[in-house]
A = this chain, B = another copy of it.
Amino acid sequence: MGDKLRVAIIGSTGYGGVELIRLLASHPHVEITAVTSSTTAGTPITDGFPHLTNIRTELLDEVDPQLLAQKADVVFTATPAGIASKLAPQLLEAGLKVIDLSGDFRLQDTAVYEQWYKKEAADKRYLEQAVYGMAEVYGDKVPGASFISNPGCFVTAAVLGLVPAVKEGFIDTKSIIIDAKSGVSGAGRGASLGTHYSELNENFKAYKINKHQHIPEIEMVLSDVAGHDVVTTFTTHLVPMTRGIMATTYATVNGSRSAADFVDLYRSYYEGRSFVRVRPEGNWPMTKEVWGSNYCDIGFSVDSRTGRVTIISVIDNLVKGAAGQAIQNLNLMMGWDETLGLQFVPVYP
């Protein structure tokens, strides 16, 4: 397998890392040569994830940039916020290409990062090197890049549902309200009362209202696309399910556009982007219809009574919202077709 791209994964004990292993296992041009753990190096990953029995038999490696630089060409960092900010520079300096799945290199404004994340921001020099890897919006910047910052899960669902309308002035950008819902895997594998089964099952709850760290990221992209500052209302809710995000987005329509006009606009904007599926008028996607896949599906309703559009956009938070989008970025970095190794049919039911 010497002619395959050698890939390392940092952050093997979380759901992002293990999802990278699942997806990359069937990638035709990639070989995983190292998976690291800061706490269980030297043991098999199957101790923590028995579902990988017979699939990944190599022992976990240390998180050592020099070692990784010998074993791999590209590294995915799937670590919590606050860790990648320190680690990615070392990996880059060691000569590795880096795709970071954390939030540490998404916000270019360090003051904004520190306000919302309550952590120290990454070094400005490395922040500036990071390319924001949302291919459907910034696709031309990704090919050839050597450092990608992978977008947030909620951000991906919300922004893909909004960008064409914002760009073309279909909606009043002062009126945007995003009501987002996520499965529990978005909270990671850490055990807490907030991820306890008996507390979440048969329950629905809102959290971090007006305080979620994805708010400035959403506004960064929308402001960039709009050409002026955009401020949004964004709410997160937890759904008693494992995977899936829905963003239900409301905005006042400029002029008298119909749902069909939105469908046409979005189909045109996303032409050639395989992973966005714009539904016909009156057809709204459910989260299960993208489950396990890299798709983002979008549907519309325009209400003449209120003059508002309702936009429904759904993703699998661990795929298009994390590991899948990261591999899509890898494909584009390497000059490959963006769908390579990612053509999973959604698992239904």
**A residues whose Cβ falls under 8 Å from a Cβ of B:** 15, 18, 21-22, 25-26, 49-55, 177, 179, 181, 183-185, 187, 189, 191-193, 195-207, 209-210, 231-233, 235, 237, 239-244, 246, 248, 250, 274, 277, 279, 283-292, 297, 301, 303, 305-306, 308, 310, 312, 314, 343-349
A209 near B177 with CB under 8 A, answer no
Known A53-B297, A348-B49; contact A203-B22, beta-carbon cutoff 8 A: no
Chain B residues contacting A197 (CB-CB under 8 Å) are: 184, 195-197, 200-201, 240, 242
**Chain B contacts of A349 at CB under 8 A?**
15, 185, 189, 198-199, 201, 242-243
Most buried by B among A15, A181, A231, A347: A347
Chain B residue numbers with a CB within 8 Å of A347 are: 22, 292, 347
Contact of A203 among B198, B274, B286, B306 (CB under 8 A): B286
Point out the residue from B50, B184, B203, B206 that lies within 8 Å of A312, measured CB to CB: B206
Which residues does chain B contribute within 8 Å of A231, judged by CB atoms? Answer: 305-306
Cβ 8 A contact of A233, one of B237, B308, B343: B308
The distance from the CB of A15 to the nearest CB of chain B, in whole angstroms, is 6
- Once the chains are docked, how many angstroms separate the CA of A303 from the CA of B199? 28
- Minimum CB–CB distance from A173 to chain B (whole Å) comes to 12
14 A–B contacts from the bound complex (CB under 8 Å) = A26-B345, A51-B348, A55-B345, A191-B193, A197-B197, A199-B288, A201-B241, A204-B314, A206-B246, A209-B312, A210-B305, A233-B310, A239-B239, A347-B347
B312 touches A343 (CB 8 A): no
Cβ-closest chain B residue relative to A209: B301
- Among B50, B193, B209, B291, the residue within 8 A (CB) of A202 is B291
Q: Are A210 and B303 in contact (CB under 8 A)?
A: yes
Q: A191 and B196: CB pair below 8 A? A: yes
Whether the Cβ atoms of A277 and B25 lie closer than 8 Å is no
CA distance A258 to B349 in the complex (A): 39
User: A202 CA to B243 CA in the complex, in Å?
Assistant: 7
Partner of A22, one of B54, B204, B345: B345
CB distance from A137 to the nearest CB of B (A): 20
